[in-house]
Amino acid sequence: MKIISVVGARPNFMKIAPFIRAIEEYNSSGPDETIEHTLVHTGQHYDDRMSKAFFKALNIPDADINLGIGSGTHAEQVGQTMIAFEKVVKDIEPDWVVVVGDVNATLACSVTAKKENVKCCHIEAGLRSGDMTMPEEINRLVTDRLSDLLLIPDKLSGENLKKEGASERSVVFVGNIMIDTLDANLAKAKDISIEEIINKNYLIESAAQKKVEDNFAVLTLHRPSNVDEKEILTPIVNFLCDEVAEDMPLIWTVHPRTQKQLKLFGLWEKVTSAENIILLHPLSYHEMLRLNMDAKIMLTDSGGLQEECTVLGTPCITLRWNTERPITLRQHGGASVIVGNNIKRIREEYQKTLLLDRTPTRPKLWDGQTAHRCLDAIISFNK
């Protein structure tokens, strides 16, 4: 059997790593027919810190093919990926194309696979935020509508797919593949010191002298809905500098998009001169995990971090108006609460969250064994 799996952007790498390992283990178990696997990187993320570092840290083999797409508008990224990926599919003639998550690579390659009449499997299917202004929601909807095999991380996702008319046969509950990676890397992350993380990754030299002990907050912010408009980003930055950083050191790992916007809106000076804010480059997988293991509070607009906070128990506030991952919310047993970008609401929930203890929870099948179930579902699809 021939499988092409696709990655494009940072959140894909931790999802594909265990899947590739599952294929390797399957092939070395002496099956009747081995799997011929090709890894395609669309090249959407290309900075070493956003891409190469993850391949290395997670032992992902070098991509067999890199489409070199890079940055651009959505139509440019999706269009160029489709043109380049079509050639790959025609050349390799795979039985399956496996896509993960909800980035532009996921959409572009699932559409291309189906146009070439190749079966498509979506790992992390069925997530829905209901927010059509999110590029990821469009990517999820289209990919799921087209995929032959929908591998879901939780039962709520299965309900979404059922409502949309997905056939029962196409949906398989496998659990959350990101947690395979988390479990496999906890011990290594534990060995890193916070001081080392700051010294290796500071954006501004003065951060090297900053000391962080037990009580610290971690922030990540990159969604266009938070960072692309001055009227939204400015009050968030004021809240972070004038309130959160007054309470405790705030470690902020700055996404390239966010750095660009802070400079554009004249906010860079404010964040770089704030005494208690430690600005870091995007971190490696293990470094981020290490911070998450000890953070007093996580403030984020990332979906993946909400999930990791749930398993680690880190009290989290999600700077979004909705989430495609309701299982990570406190009302469903998770660690997070949605606060949008209204400062009054952020402040209220931030203060409540500070009072919470770390309470790890594991939704069903978030057990570190999801990748094997994904591969089993593909292998048994035609049987």
Catalytic residues: 222
CA distances from 76 to 47, 80, 82 (A): 19, 6, 10
Size of the site for ligand UD1 (CB under 6 A): 18
Q: Is the dihedral of CA 113, 114, 119, 122 positive or negative?
A: positive
Rounded to whole angstroms, how far apart are CA atoms 14 and 25? 18
Among 2, 27, 50, 340, contact with ligand UD1 (rule: CB under 6 A)? 50
| 222 near ligand UD1, judged by CB under 6 A | yes
Complex with ligand UD1: residue 173 or 252, whichever CB lies closer = 252
The DSSP bridge partners found for residue 109 are none
Instruction: Quote the least distance from Cβ 20 to ligand UD1, whole Å.
Output: 20
Residue with smaller CB distance to ligand UD1, 230 or 364: 230
Residue 222 beta carbon to ligand UD1: minimum distance, rounded to whole angstroms? 5
Cβ 102 vs Cβ 139: under 8 Å: yes
Per rule CB under 6 A, is residue 133 in the interface with ligand UD1?
no
| 48 vs 164 by CB, closer to ligand UD1 | 48
Q: Which residues contact 180 (CB under 8 A, 6 or more apart)?
A: 18, 368, 369, 370, 371
Instruction: State in angstroms the smallest separation of the CB of 41 from ligand UD1.
Output: 12
What CA–CA distance (Å, rounded) separates 247 from 240? 10
Nearer to ligand UD1, 129 or 170 (CB): 129
DSSP string, 238-298: HHIIIIIHHHS-EEEEPPHHHHHHHHHTT-HHHHHH-TTEEEEPPPPHHHHHHHHHH-SEE
Phi, then psi, of 225 in degrees rounded to 5: -65, -20
Closest contact distance (angstroms) between CB of 13 and ligand UD1 is 10
* 104 counts as binding ligand UD1 under rule CB under 6 A: yes
d(C-alpha 174, C-alpha 153), whole Å: 6
Site residues for ligand UD1, window 56-75 (CB under 6 A)? 71
Cβ 99 vs Cβ 105: under 8 Å: yes
User: Rounded to an integer, what distance in angstroms lies between the CA atom of residue 145 and that of residue 154?
Assistant: 18
**Residue 79 interacting with ligand UD1 (CB under 6 A):** no
Q: Does 306 sit near ligand UD1 (CB under 6 A)?
A: no
CB 63, min distance to ligand UD1, A: 14
Q: Is there binding between residue 354 and ligand UD1 (CB under 6 A)?
A: no
Q: Check binding of 308 to ligand UD1 (CB under 6 A).
A: no
Q: How far is the CB of 134 from ligand UD1 (least distance, A)?
A: 8
Instruction: Decide: is 281 part of the binding site for ligand UD1 (CB under 6 A).
Output: no
Burial of residue 73 (CB within 10 Å: 0-12, 13-18, 19+) is exposed
Contact assessment for residue 299 and residue 218, using Cβ atoms and an 8 Å cutoff: yes
Does 10 bind ligand UD1 (CB under 6 A)? Our answer is: yes
Calpha distance 69→203 (Å, rounded): 27
Contact string (CB under 6 A) for ligand UD1, positions 18-47, x = contact = --------------------------xxxx
Q: How far is the CB of 223 from ligand UD1 (least distance, A)?
A: 7
Check binding of 257 to ligand UD1 (CB under 6 A).
yes
| Interface with ligand UD1 (CB under 6 A), residue from 6, 7, 11, 14 | 11
User: Which residues sit at the interface with ligand UD1, rule CB under 6 A?
Assistant: 9-11, 44-47, 50, 71, 103-104, 135-136, 222, 255-257, 260
